[in-house]
Copies of this chain bind each other. A is one copy, B any other.
Amino acid sequence: MILDREHIAETYKQIQDEITKGLEILDGKATFDEEIWQREGGGGGRTRIIQQGSVIEKGGVNFSAVHGKLPETIKKAFGVDEDDFFATGVSIVIHPQNPWVPIIHMNIRYFELNENMRWFGGGIDLTPHYVIEEDARFFHQMMKNVCDKHDPKFYTQFKTWADQYFYIKHRQETRGIGGIFYDKLTKEKTGHSELELFNFSCDLGRTFVPTYTELANRNRDKKFSDREKQWQLLRRGRYVEFNLVYDSGTRFGLETNGRIESILMSLPAQANWAYDFKPESGSLEENTLNLLKKDINWAL
Contact A268 B273 (CB under 8 A): yes
Q: Which of B169, B251, B264, B269 interacts with A272 by CB under 8 Å?
A: B269
Check A276–B261 contact: CB distance below 8 A: yes
Q: How far is the CB of A94 from chain B (nearest CB, A)?
A: 13
What is the 8 Å Cβ interface bit string for chain A, positions 38-74, against chain B (1 contact, 0 not)?
0000000000010100000010100000000000000
Kindly report which residue of chain B lies nearest to residue A243, judged by CB atoms: B244
Cβ of A149 under 8 Å from chain B: no
Cross-chain contact B265 with A275 (CB below 8 angstroms): yes
A274 lies within 8 A of chain B by Cβ: yes
Chain-B contact segment, one of A200-208, A219-227, A233-241: A233-241
Task: Enumerate A230-269 residues with CB–CB distance to B below 8 Å.
Answer: 233, 237, 240-241, 244-245, 251, 254, 257, 260-261, 264-265, 267-269
- In the complex, the answer to whether B260 meets A267 with C-beta atoms within 8 Å is no
Q: In the complex, are the beta carbons of B270 and A49 less than 8 A apart?
A: no
- A260 proximity list for chain B (CB < 8 A): 170-171
| Alpha-carbon distance A170/B281, docked complex (angstroms) | 41
Q: Contact between A264 and B269 (Cβ–Cβ < 8 Å)?
A: no
Smallest Cβ-Cβ distance to A261: which chain B residue: B276
Within 8 Å by CB of A245, from B60, B244, B272, lies B244
- Which residues of the other chain, B, contact A272 by a CB distance below 8 angstroms? 269-271
- Please, how many angstroms separate the alpha-carbon atoms of A197 and B49 in the complex? 52
Contact B270 A271 (CB under 8 A): yes
In the complex, the answer to whether A254 meets B245 with C-beta atoms within 8 Å is: yes
Judge whether B275 and A58 touch: CB under 8 Å.
yes
A35 interfacial contact with B, CB 8 Å: yes
Nearest first, the 3 A-B pairs at minimum CB distance are: A244-B244, A267-B273, A261-B276
A-side residues, CB < 8 A to B, are 35, 49, 51, 58, 60, 169-171, 233, 237, 240-241, 244-245, 251, 254, 257, 260-261, 264-265, 267-276
- A sample of 25 cross-chain residue pairs with beta-carbon separation below 8 angstroms, ordered by A number, consists of A35-B276, A49-B276, A60-B275, A169-B254, A170-B257, A170-B260, A171-B260, A237-B267, A240-B240, A240-B244, A240-B271, A244-B244, A245-B251, A261-B275, A264-B273, A265-B275, A268-B273, A269-B272, A269-B274, A270-B270, A270-B271, A270-B272, A271-B271, A271-B272, A271-B273
